[in-house]
Chains A and B, each alone.
Chain A
Amino acid sequence: MFTADFLKEVNQHSGEKVQLCFQCFKCSLGCPVSFAMDYLPHQLLRMVQMGLKDRVLHSHTIWVCAACETCTTRCPNHIDIARVIDTLRQMAIKQGKPAEKPIVAFHKAFLNSVRRHGKLNEWELMAEYKLRSTRFLDDLWLIPEMWKRKKLFLRIRGVHKKSEIKKIFKKAKAWNN
């Protein structure tokens, strides 16, 4: 299905000009996680140009991208591809059907912990991730290993001025971009 304003929408949110992509494949050739993608980065950009909104926003590619910035660094047309992919992720979440739920669960759990304390709490991150993703057994073996090495604390670290963090999160919600 063709969505007329998709390219415009992506350009606006990302601040990039996706129409500049001339399909040289340089981004895809250097991408370290291309083996796990359903569409390669250059294909994804072509699909944005063609207005294939549904296919792009339901793709696994936008989530398995490791945000390593290799493509952005190399694009001869200076398209910040990693930023375009950030934009696509945000649009996919708004639409409510991200293809890689555990990855989204991780990011949400991470930010929720930061929202509460101003710093990340690893226990909380793990607990919330497991609940959100229902992957209860992930990485269980690591917990005693890390505990032994004093890499996990029971104490919750946080910032003193919590109100400043609250304000940031409140405003972020209002922006919701």
Chain B
Amino acid sequence: MEQLGYYPGCTLETTGREFDMTTRITCQQLGIELVEIPDWNCCGASSAHELNNYLAISLAARNLAIAEQKLALDVVIPCAACFNRLKVAQKALLNKAYSEFVFEGRTKVYDLLRFLAQPRYKKRLKHQVGKSLKGLKAVAYYGCLLTRPPEVTDHPHPENPTEMDEILKILGVDCLFWSYKTDCCGASLTVGRVDVVHQLVKKLYDHALEVGAECIVTACPLCHANLDLRQKEINEKFNKNYYLPIFYFTELMVLAMDINDTEVWARGHLVDPIPLLKEKGLC
């Protein structure tokens, strides 16, 4: 087993519990032992950078310093917002700003999706797939902060990432092409201006349906929350009847690995994915 530092972030302990659970199972199956950063704190997510530059860097920087000193491991982060914040902090620390946090740059920061899309894990994944998800029509949705801005994320294709599509194809998913994979869902506005979020998310539903998708696959707990929790409101507000289950890519990995936890993680969704999975003969 190789070891890897793990930064769950606050949402993976609450709204994103299914993401945490299926991330841990997936990594274990692929031969990765996740070691949680000891005594980690909230990175400030979408709020700190809007109000205070110092908070925005230092809240994230404390976690990086602990990871390097106490764990001496690279760090993987499932939440796109946390990933973005820790990458911004990493770059600030490497520029020798914020000397109160000791960090030399040995610890690398990865987002979970891109980490698992490396060739060696894709190879292992192929061997792990016990149940093909053939026939499940999905679109891969990346959202904004996993890839943008490239100066922060080091993503080579910020406008057209393909990692999730590649992983889903290995699982057998019928992964459809659409043009909205990196359009924003409005996560930071979900409390203060939910009307804006409704518009943005509805647009995503419409375009997913237009290409024939039956579900949307995400890689971020904030995207998932917006797309899953708000579907009922959007149906009421726009007098629609959307039924689009929203999956985390790790949930589909666990499903394809034929691990019988479907009921457990599916229970966390507001849009129940079980009817769709039953229809496809997948559970």
Task: Using CB atoms and an 8 Å cutoff, list the residues of chain A in contact with chain B.
Answer: 32-33, 35-36, 63-64, 66-70, 72-73, 80, 82, 86, 89-90, 93, 100, 102-108, 110-111, 114, 118-120, 122, 129, 133, 138-139, 142, 145-146, 149-153, 157, 159-161, 164-165, 168-169, 171-172, 175-177
In this complex, which of B46, B193, B268 has the most chain A Cβ atoms within 10 angstroms of its Cβ?
B193
- B189 and A103 form a contact (CB under 8 A): yes
Which residues of chain B are near A36, meaning CB under 8 Å? 193, 195-196, 199
Q: A72-B149, A102-B192, A150-B17 known; A177 and B40 CB under 8 Å?
A: no
Instruction: Give chain B interface residues in 106-139, CB to chain A under 8 Å.
Output: none
Which residues of chain B are near A165, meaning CB under 8 Å? 41, 62
Which residues of chain A are near B17, meaning CB under 8 Å? 150-151
Binds A, one of B22-30, B50-58, B210-218, B240-248: B50-58
Q: Once bound together, how far apart are the Cα atoms of A105 and B47, in whole Å?
A: 10
Q: B257: CB under 8 A from chain A? A: no
Give B150's nearest chain A residue, CB to CB: A73
Q: Once bound together, how far apart are the Cα atoms of A109 and B199, in whole Å?
A: 25
Task: Using CB atoms and an 8 Å cutoff, list the residues of chain B in contact with chain A.
Answer: 10, 13-15, 17, 39-42, 44-55, 58-59, 62, 100, 144-145, 148-150, 158-159, 182-184, 186-189, 191-196, 199-200, 229, 267-270
Contact of A110 among B45, B53, B58, B229 (CB under 8 A): B45
- A100 and B42 form a contact (CB under 8 A): no
Which residues of chain A are near B148, meaning CB under 8 Å? 68-70, 72-73
- A90 and B191 form a contact (CB under 8 A): no
- B54 and A33 form a contact (CB under 8 A): no
Q: Once bound together, how far apart are the Cα atoms of A122 and B13, in whole Å?
A: 11
Which residues of chain A are near B191, meaning CB under 8 Å? 102, 106, 129, 138-139
Give B230's nearest chain A residue, CB to CB: A142
Contact of B48 among A32, A64, A70, A111 (CB under 8 A): A111
Which residues of chain B are near A153, meaning CB under 8 Å? 13-14
Q: A90-B52, A149-B268 known; A70 and B144 CB under 8 Å?
A: yes
Which residues of chain B are near A122, meaning CB under 8 Å? 14-15
Interchain residue pairs with CB less than 8 A apart (13): A66-B184, A72-B148, A86-B49, A107-B47, A119-B42, A120-B42, A120-B45, A129-B191, A138-B194, A150-B268, A152-B14, A164-B41, A172-B54
Which residues of chain B are near A175, meaning CB under 8 Å? 52-54
Contact of A68 among B45, B49, B59, B144 (CB under 8 A): B144
- A66 and B40 form a contact (CB under 8 A): no
- B42 and A103 form a contact (CB under 8 A): no
Which residues of chain A are near B100, meaning CB under 8 Å? 171
- B184 and A68 form a contact (CB under 8 A): yes
Report the 6 A-B pairs with minimum CB-CB distance, sorted nearest first: A103-B192, A68-B184, A69-B148, A68-B144, A107-B47, A110-B47
Give A80's nearest chain B residue, CB to CB: B149
Give B199's nearest chain A residue, CB to CB: A35
- B54 and A171 form a contact (CB under 8 A): yes
